[in-house]
């Protein structure tokens, strides 16, 4: 870049009539130099953000793998039992986690099928939990990392639903609870016990 600028100054000294063109070229060269410099700074800053995101995502590593087991849910007067799997995988070089769940009842009918993506929200310093159900329901919720797993909430008018997952290297225990008095009391409607198989 320095050689280019020196060459431009030599042209200015030798050909006064070309001054306007040379000024334009000189400004373009200076702009290009600053653009490259700022581009490098932006790229380095982006790389730091990505590495920070990866570091936060690693806090959820204990949940990676394939899990199988059973549980129950209650959406009416009777509990409904199920068996199934949760498959949890890192994606995009560790920047996202894909969670896929599929559960069937005793008649081998699918009663609960889910897909979710977990990613770290650098701006809010929280995890975004984007969920999709086979029923067509979907949403984006805040997921919190805990000492032994994670927790997330679904708010609704007059209350909220709370899912809590507790993990060890070999076990996954999850509960779903509902509160209709802004969190003063909770009623369990979902429980799941899984074992790591992969």
Q: In this predicted model, what pLDDT tens digit does every residue of 43-101 receive, in sequence order?
A: 888 899 999 999 999 999 999 999 999 999 998 889 999 999 999 999 999 999 999 99
Quote the domain boundaries for residue 118. 64-196
Axis crossing angle, helix 19-57 with helix 2-14, rounded to the nearest 10: 170
* Percent above pLDDT 90 for the chain: 69
Over range 132-145, report the average pLDDT. 94
Q: Say how many C-beta atoms besides its own lie within 10 A of residue 192's C-beta.
A: 23
Residues 128 and 94 in one domain: yes
CATH code: domain of residue 152 = 2.40.128.20
Number of domain units in the chain: 2
Residues 173 and 125 in one domain: yes
Q: Say how many CA atoms lie within 13 Å of 83 toward its Cβ.
A: 5
Residues 52 and 123 in one domain: no
**pLDDT over threshold 50, residue 119:** yes
Alpha helices in 16-95 (DSSP H): 19-57
- Predicted model pTM: 0.77
**pLDDT over threshold 80, residue 198:** yes
Q: What's the N-to-C CA distance of the chain in angstroms?
A: 55
**pLDDT over threshold 70, residue 107:** yes
Residues 49 and 74 in one domain: no
């Amino acid at each position: 870049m320095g050689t280019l600028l020196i060459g431009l100054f030599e042209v200015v000294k030798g050909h006064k009539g070309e001054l306007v063109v040379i000024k334009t070229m000189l400004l373009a060269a200076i702009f290009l130099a600053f653009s490259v410099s700022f581009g490098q700074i932006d790229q380095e800053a982006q790389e730091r953000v990505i590495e920070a995101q990866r570091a936060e995502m690693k806090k959820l590593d204990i949940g990676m793998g394939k899990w199988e087991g059973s549980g129950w849910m209650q959406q009416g007067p009777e509990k409904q039992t199920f068996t199934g799997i949760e498959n949890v995988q890192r994606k995009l070089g560790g920047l996202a986690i894909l969670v896929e769940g599929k559960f069937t009842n005793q008649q081998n009918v699918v009663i609960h099928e889910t897909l979710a993506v977990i990613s770290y929200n650098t701006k809010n310093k929280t995890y975004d939990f984007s969920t999709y159900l086979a029923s067509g329901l979907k949403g984006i919720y805040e997921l919190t990392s805990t000492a032994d797993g994670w927790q997330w909430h679904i708010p609704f008018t007059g209350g909220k639903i709370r899912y809590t997952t507790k993990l060890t290297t070999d076990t996954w225990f999850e509960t779903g609870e509902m509160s209709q008095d802004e969190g003063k009391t909770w009623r369990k409607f979902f429980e799941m016990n899984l074992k790591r198989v992969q």
